[in-house]
Amino acid sequence: MTRRLLVIGLDCAEPSLVFDRWREELPHLNQLMEAGTYGELESTIPPITVPAWTSMLTGKDPGELGFYGFRNRADYSYDQMSIASSAAVKRARVWGRASASGKRVVVVGVPQTYPPRPLNGYLVTSFLTPSTFSQYTYPQSLKAEIAQVVGDYMLDVRDFRTEDKGYLLRQIYDMTEKRCQLVKHFLRTKPWEFFMWVEMGVDRIHHGFWKYMDPAHPKHEPGNRYQDAIRDYYRYLDAQIGEILELVPDDAAVLVMSDHGAQPMEGGICFNEWLMREGYLVLEDQPEGIVPLAKCEINWRRTKAWGAGGYYGRLFLNVEGREPQGVIPPQEDDATRDELIAKLEALTDPQGRNIGTRAFKPEEVYREINNIPPDLIVYFGNLAWRSVGSVGLDTIHTFENDTGPDDANHAQNGLFILTVPGLAGQGRVPTHSWRAIAPTMLGLLELEVPPDIEGESLL
């Protein structure tokens, strides 16, 4: 069994594009698939960058981790939220276990690593870092080295919501180019047994350019100038991966993976507008224009529930004795949620066709519940529709996002491609759960898999 592992994380990489549509145009990923084992990787509920990457790296589901998205309720007040930084991660990730056993690790751009924590090696944080003026490396001295190698490092693209798609595309390439340059520099100069890099460019290009590529997208216009933008980026990334693989010793296992997939976005469901129409949410005054719910005066005494926007919907109940002005008796909490689930699952598009919404109770999908989860996790149209939290649109359906243009939503399944020296690959295999990742990584590093990490290794 090998003792070295390189993990190439491609945030949001979509299996249908890598395995099928563009496989022949991605020679290095294709070579890994031909030599190894690959398939779809079912993500967490919800399939979002945070908590998905951390769940995969700790072997713990979002309930066990105690965070359910990027921002979570800090308490049962109506407005205190906190960002799930690395300080929220209370369970060991694979590189922490590797470090503790004396293995040398390099971690680049993995989500939820700011602020950086000491480890046995080197770490560069990700886009939840305020800026490169913050301490975004471990050790601190690494910052100066990064500046020498790539100049002005890019934690993320700037001005993602711009309508200037040419500018956005250049940003995505610049960011990826710098990160790949840094990864190659570290591969050449740092000793390691565990090396993990997550590239966010795939996610950014999907959200920014999907409609140009996909004829199935409601806003697709054939023959547009960005029709090949995503394909060209995948090809570019594959070439970078090829250069990176040349720097990797023959005894290293390679795991390419994504935290979730992507799909065209049909539109947005105005969650709070819907809750108002159904009588669950009452505002003191009708808003003027489109306004985030946080800026509205809510009549809490007449409000049973409110929602939050994003790629998936979060619903919160206003419970007596729990929220400051709660109205739902605690014993009616479950019945209220059942009622809402039935109504959500009956949601239709403007033509009256059911869109296939799914809603989950946290206690039914997580092994345990820590901190404060949403009372319901909602996949509008099974994630084909995003959740829009703003009010004042006076409609349930919208085809313009309240935060700017967005072409894609997440899909539940991402991908994995695993090659292990000396181990014959199995080719395409059935979908595996995200729970397979931590045991697989620990096994490849010859580290013990603790009994509380469930999940079958990919090996």
CB-nearer residue toward other proteins: 133 or 285: 133
31 vs 425: CA distance, rounded Å: 11
Name the minimum Å distance from CB 406 to other proteins.
Answer: 5
Identify the three-state secondary structure at position 347. coil
Among 156, 174, 243, 333, binds other proteins (CB under 8 A): 156
Task: Report the residue from 49, 171, 272, 398 that binds other proteins according to the rule CB under 8 A.
Answer: 49
3-state helix/strand/coil string of 24-91: HHCHHHHHHHHHCEEEEEECCCCCCHHHHHHHHHHCCCHHHHCCCCCEEECCCCCCCEEECCHHHCCC
The smaller minimum CB distance to other proteins, of residues 43 and 419, is found at 43
Q: Which stretch binds other proteins (CB under 8 A): 1-9, 159-167, 170-178, 191-199?
A: 159-167
Residues 169, 109, 377, 72: what is their CA dihedral angle, to the nearest 10 degrees? -110
Taking alpha carbons only, the member of 189, 348, 331 closest to residue 266 is: 348
Could you say which residues in the range 54-93 bind other proteins, by CB under 8 A?
66, 69-71, 83, 85-87, 89-93
- Decide if residue 294 touches other proteins (CB under 8 A): no
The single-letter code of the amino acid at 70 is F
CA angle 124, 443, 447 (to 5 degrees): 75
By CB under 8 A, tell whether 311 contacts other proteins: yes
CB of 389 to other proteins, least distance (A): 8
Among 36, 59, 63, 309, binds other proteins (CB under 8 A): 309
Task: Give the torsion sign (CA, 225, 226, 227, 229).
Answer: positive
Long-range contacts of 185-189 (CB under 8 A, 24+ apart): 185/149, 186/106, 186/108, 186/122, 187/244, 187/247, 187/248, 188/247
Q: Which of 16, 134, 224, 382 binds other proteins (CB under 8 A)?
A: 134
Query: In which residue are the tokens 């971690």 written?
Result: 107
Shortest distance in whole angstroms from residue 92 CB to other proteins: 4
Both tokens of 150, joined, read 């790539």
Question: Does the protein bind other proteins through residue 135 (CB under 8 A)?
Answer: no
Q: Is 44 in the site for other proteins (CB under 8 A)?
A: no
Between 28 and 314, whose beta carbon lies closer to other proteins? Answer: 314
Report the interface residues with other proteins, using CB under 8 A. 48-49, 66, 69-71, 83, 85-87, 89-93, 95-96, 99-100, 114-115, 117-119, 123, 127-131, 134, 156, 159-161, 204, 207, 308-311, 370-371, 386, 401, 403-404, 406
